[in-house]
Amino acid sequence: MNITQILFWFLSVIAIFSALMVITSKNPVHSVLWLIVTFFAISGHYIVMNAQFLAIVNIIVYAGAIMVLFLHVFMLIDLRANTEPQQNRWIKIAGGIAGGSLMLVMIAALRNVDIKAQDAGINTNNIGLIKNLGRELFTTYVIPFELSSVLFLSAMVGAVVLGKKD
C-alpha cells in the first residue's frame, strides 16, 4: 500500500465514524460538530484526488457557513425533552426496515463492481487544480465572471438598502 491508499482509508474511517456519530448523537449541537468533522474528512478526500478547489469550497461553504447557521438555529430553538414528541416503536421498526432495504439495494448494486479496474487518476493530471480554474475564469470566461461579480455586488447593496431602518 502506498501513502495515498493509507490516507484514503484513514479519511474513510474518519468520515464513516463521524457520520455515524451524527445520526446517533442525542444532542443536536454534538451532531453538528460531528458533521463538521465529516466535511473535513470529505475535503481530505478531495485533496487526495487533486481537487483542491472543491476541498476549499467544501470547507468554507459547508463546514463554515452552513454549519454555523445550523448551530445558530439549534441554539435559538427550544430543545428541552418535554417539548419533543414521544417516540413510537413502529416508526423505529419502519426506519430499520427502510435502512436495511437501502443496505440490500446498495450491496446488490455494488456486488459486481471491480475496484481494481477503476482508477481515479490520483495526482497524475492537472484536473481540479485551482491554477487551471483561475486561468479559465480570467481568460475564457472573464466577461461572465465579471458580470456575475457586478450582479453579486448589486445584490449585496440591495440587501443593505432593504435591511436599513429608516
Q: What is the mean pLDDT of the chain?
A: 84
**Concatenated DSSP letters for 14-37?**
HHHHHHHHHHH-SSHHHHHHHHHH
Looking at residue 116, what is its pLDDT? 63
Of 5 and 83, which is predicted with more confidence? Answer: 5
pLDDT on residue 73: 80
CATH code for 3-79+88-128? 1.20.120.1200
Confidence check: pLDDT of 158 > 70: yes
Mean pLDDT to the nearest integer, 144-159: 89
Q: How confident is the model at residue 2 (pLDDT cuts 50, 70, 90)?
A: confident
> Residue 150: its pLDDT value, please?
92
CB 115, CB 12: distance < 8 Å? no
Give pLDDT, residue 122.
55
Could you give phi then psi for residue 108, rounded to 5 degrees?
-65, -35
Tell me what pLDDT residue 110 has.
84
Whole-number percent of the chain with pLDDT over 90: 28
Average pLDDT over residues 119-139: 72
Residue 98 has which C-alpha cell? 427502510
User: What are the pLDDT digits (tens) for 45-102?
Assistant: 998 888 888 888 889 988 888 888 887 787 777 666 565 666 788 888 998 999 999 9
DSSP per-residue letters across 81-118? GGGSPPPPHHHHHHHHHHHHHHHHHHHHHHTT--TTT-
